[in-house]
Amino acid sequence: MLIVGSFVTHAKLPELGSGEIVVADGQRVSIRFASGERNFVYALVEPYLTVTAEAPVGRPSKPGRAPKAAKKSR
């Protein structure tokens, strides 16, 4: 049985990379990948999931503004 908090990879969807199991109740599994959360039927996906030590890589952050310089006090 898959454990919440485990990191997994999906054999048929390697482009997803690794993901973290956020829900696993025996009926369904929700896995948070860098591209978003995916929901699967447990019985159908379980044979294709492999537990790994590799944590998912987060989404790249959007480029933002440079931090404002602190005002000098006189």
- CATH number (domain holding residue 14): 2.30.30
Kindly state whether residue 45 falls inside one of the protein's structural domains: yes
Structural domain including 41 reads 7-52
Q: In the prediction, which pLDDT does 63 show? A: 44
Give the sign of the dihedral formed by CA 11, CA 15, CA 17, CA 21: negative
Kindly state whether residue 61 falls inside one of the protein's structural domains: no
Q: Is the pLDDT of residue 62 over 60?
A: no
Please give the backbone phi and psi of residue 65, each rounded to the nearest 5 degrees, phi first. Answer: -75, 155
pTM of the model: 0.71
Kindly state whether residue 35 falls inside one of the protein's structural domains: yes
User: From edge to edge, which strands make up the β-sheet containing 28-33?
Assistant: 36-41, 28-33, 18-24, 7-10, 49-52
Q: What is the mean pLDDT of the chain?
A: 82
How many domains does one find in the chain? 1
Q: Is the pLDDT of residue 1 over 80?
A: no
Kindly state whether residue 38 falls inside one of the protein's structural domains: yes
Question: Where does 1-74 show beta strands of DSSP type E?
Answer: 7-10, 18-24, 28-33, 36-41, 49-52
